[in-house]
């Protein structure tokens, strides 16, 4: 069965500190992996994605994520957190449904990030 686990419900970091958000997945096929961010009252914004190739992917806002097949993980990192990064972060997994078109996504429960000034 497909599933995504984000073990940390809430993380608090100081501004300028490094950040790592954990994500583990279970998926039968080769997964497409995503990180989304949701600010209060907003929809989901794509941070980055991984399909194949280089296992370290760069995203927007200075975020990066590393795919580790052996650990079924896709952890999100940022070397120096800004106060504006405070938001909810969702890891998601999916696969092509029709040809190369991405089908539905399975989401983790989210990690709420609080940033102390």
User: In the complex, which residues of this chain contact another protein (CB under 8 A)?
Assistant: 32, 34, 36, 41-46, 49, 51, 90, 92, 94, 96-98, 100-105, 107-110
Shortest separation between residue 65's beta carbon and another protein, angstroms: 14
What burial class does residue 1 get, using C-beta atoms within 10 Å of its C-beta: 0-12 exposed, 13-18 middle, 19+ buried?
exposed
Closer to another protein by CB, 49 or 77: give it. Answer: 49
Shortest separation between residue 59's beta carbon and another protein, angstroms: 12
What burial class does residue 64 get, using C-beta atoms within 10 Å of its C-beta: 0-12 exposed, 13-18 middle, 19+ buried?
middle
Instruction: State the maximum Cα–Cα separation within the chain, in Å, rounded to a whole number.
Output: 47
Q: Which of 105, 102, 77 is nearest to 89 (CA)?
A: 77
Shortest separation between residue 40's beta carbon and another protein, angstroms: 11
Closer to another protein by CB, 4 or 115: give it. Answer: 4
């Amino acid at each position: 069965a497909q599933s995504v686990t984000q073990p940390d419900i809430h993380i608090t970091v100081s501004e300028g500190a490094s950040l790592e958000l954990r994500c583990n997945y279970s998926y039968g096929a080769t997964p497409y992996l995503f990180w989304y961010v949701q600010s209060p009252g907003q929809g989901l914004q794509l941070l980055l994605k991984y399909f194949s190739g280089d296992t370290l992917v760069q995203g927007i806002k200075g975020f990066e994520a590393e795919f580790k097949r052996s650990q079924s993980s896709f952890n999100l990192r940022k070397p120096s957190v800004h106060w504006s990064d405070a938001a909810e972060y969702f890891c998601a997994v999916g696969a092509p449904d029709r040809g190369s078109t991405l089908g539905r996504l399975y989401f983790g429960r989210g990690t709420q990030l609080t940033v102390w000034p």
